[in-house]
Amino acid sequence: KKCAVWETQTRMSMYRAGNYPELSPDSTTKNFCRNPYNETDTLKAKTIWCVTTDPDVSWEECIPIGVIQPECKKGYAISSQTGRDALYYSSFVIWILGGIWIIIVLLMTNRIRLAIALNKVAADFVSTNPTVLLIPIAQAVVAILWCVIWC
């Protein structure tokens, strides 16, 4: 839904720059979301809101910049607050473990390069001497025969 300009909207005409300092100067608020509030007001929104141009909805809360996910309108998949808190804090643990993993990889870069070079040498050796692949097969056959003879 689109927000109406605060100074020209007629639905909630009490919300004007003259009545609420949050809406002053009127040239800077235009149709931006705000949370106008005076000490004498009985109601205050939880977050910023605006008067909408939608004829069916007179006002609507806005999602502030930096809020990743608003509250679920149909409820939560995990009903208990304790379960949601556990998931929230476990996400930090996962991020920390990911950071530790990255640090370890960065610290082990030289060892990783050495292992890659060693694998390249081994691959070159096997490509020039393919019969070497028969050795583990021969060892397995000898081990099976040994077990059959002695068991």
In the chain, how many H helices and how many E strands? 4, 2
In tens, the pLDDT along 7-43 reads 888 888 888 877 777 777 766 668 888 888 777 777 7
For the full predicted model, state whether its pTM sits above 0.75: no
Query: What Rg do the C-alpha atoms of the chain give, in angstroms?
Result: 34
Band (76; pLDDT cuts 50, 70, 90): low
Average pLDDT for residues 130-142, to the nearest whole number?
94
pLDDT at 72: 67
Tokens of 29: 């608020």
Q: Is residue 145's pLDDT more than 80? A: yes
pLDDT at 70: 59
pLDDT at 17: 76
Q: Is residue 100's pLDDT more than 80? A: yes
CB 48 within 8 A of CB 33: yes
Placement of tokens 């007179």 in the chain: 58
